[in-house]
Amino acid sequence: MTENNNYHISVLLQECIDGLSIKPDGTYVDVTFGGGGHSKEILNLLDNGKLIAFDQDDDALNNIPESDNLIFVNHNFRHLKKFLKYHKQIPVDGILADLGISSYQIDEGTKGFSTRFEGPLDMRMNSSMEKTAADILNVYSENNLVSIFSKYGEIRNSKKLANHIIQARQNGLKFNTTKNFIAFLENLIIGKRNRYLAQVFQALRIEVNDEMNALKDMLMQSIEVLNTGGRLVIITFHSLEDRIVKNFLKSGNFEGKIATDEFGRSKQIFKLVNRRPIEASEEELEVNNRSRSAKLRIATKL
């Protein structure tokens, strides 16, 4: 298998592989298969081990290699435990998650992820899901719009943006394509245009795909499926998901509060391998500028 670089350039590739500490006969999970770059490197290090790869996007099916060591699961990683149990692959020795949207998804317009190419306001990772970005913009209440734009996009003028969307709807505007939505946004942009548009699209994408809850589901299940000594290797790309991962690895929960037993001893589930997140080198940034916001966190299950 060769990685489909038109689909996605793998971020922090060698750092992830090193973080997994792969054993040739071990069992590993790539919950964000995408273009298959990380999976390829894992497979290269396996003898009779297994790799279980998850991806809910049907486009990723074109990147699956022929390998007796690979089990591919065409579902959301929030169903991690269910499918590992189905394939009799519990426990596992390492779980990798690259939470960034793929280069392919933002470089073409057919699903509405791109701010540069026209497409439908869809943004569903899984086309069988019912709710689209258009549904959110055309149906959600003003309060709900404020909530998703402020929480998932960290947009400073969320209230103004939501209010203008409601007013536009009352005047008969329907949001159907990325082009007509971006045209609407032009007079609302504060700060750098590309960053603002990216934040708005991020907020919609997270809401459509329920990304934060899916991430929390997967992380909680990782405790149950990981071997003692198994590695959890997570790349994040924005502060909201990084905060969730950071707190979880620190404390085993999403509040970041370490529980104690009756004697006051801490009940930690993971031991951090790297105290500070690993970021892309200057060399990688020259090849792939999209790795600039990537943060890699690695932990071992105790």
Which domain CATH number covers 202? 1.10.150.170
Residue that terminates a domain, selected from 154, 179, 209: 209
Rounded-to-integer distance, Cα 5 and Cα 199, Å: 25
Which region, left, alpha or beta, applies to residue 115 given φ > 0 means left and ψ of -120 to 50 means alpha? Answer: alpha
297/157 same-domain check: no
**Residue-averaged pLDDT of the chain:** 94
Same domain, 80 and 125: no
175 and 31 inside one domain: no
Do both 100 and 216 map to the same domain?
Answer: yes
pLDDT value of residue 7: 56
Res 201 pLDDT > 50: yes
Q: Within this chain, do residues 121 and 240 fall inside the same structural domain, yes or no? A: no
b/e string for 117-156 if b means 16 or more Cβ within 10 A?
eebebbbbbeeeeeebbbebbbebeeeebbbbbbebbebe
Q: What is the pLDDT of residue 8?
A: 59
Model pLDDT, residue 129? 92
| Parallel, antiparallel or unpaired: strands 92-98 and 295-301 | unpaired
Is 175 within the bounds of a domain?
A: yes
CA distance 7 to 28: 23
Alpha-carbon distance 96 to 27, whole Å?
12
Residue ranges making up the domain that contains 121: 110-209
Angle between helices 158-170 and 142-152 (to 10 degrees): 140
Domain count, the chain: 2
In a domain, 180, yes or no: yes
- Domain end, chosen from 160, 191, 209, is at 209
> Going by C-beta distance under 8 Å and a sequence separation of 6 or more, which residues neighbour residue 26?
46, 49, 92, 93, 94
Last residue of a domain, one of 209, 229, 252: 209
Q: Is residue 8 part of a domain?
A: no
Read off the pLDDT band of 1 (50, 70, 90).
Answer: very low
What integer pLDDT is reported at residue 148 of this predicted model? 98
Cα–Cα distances in Å, from 98 out to 64, 73, 197? 17, 16, 22
Whether residue 1 lies inside any domain: the answer is no
158 and 201 inside one domain: yes
Q: 56 lies in a domain?
A: yes
pLDDT above 60: residue 47: yes
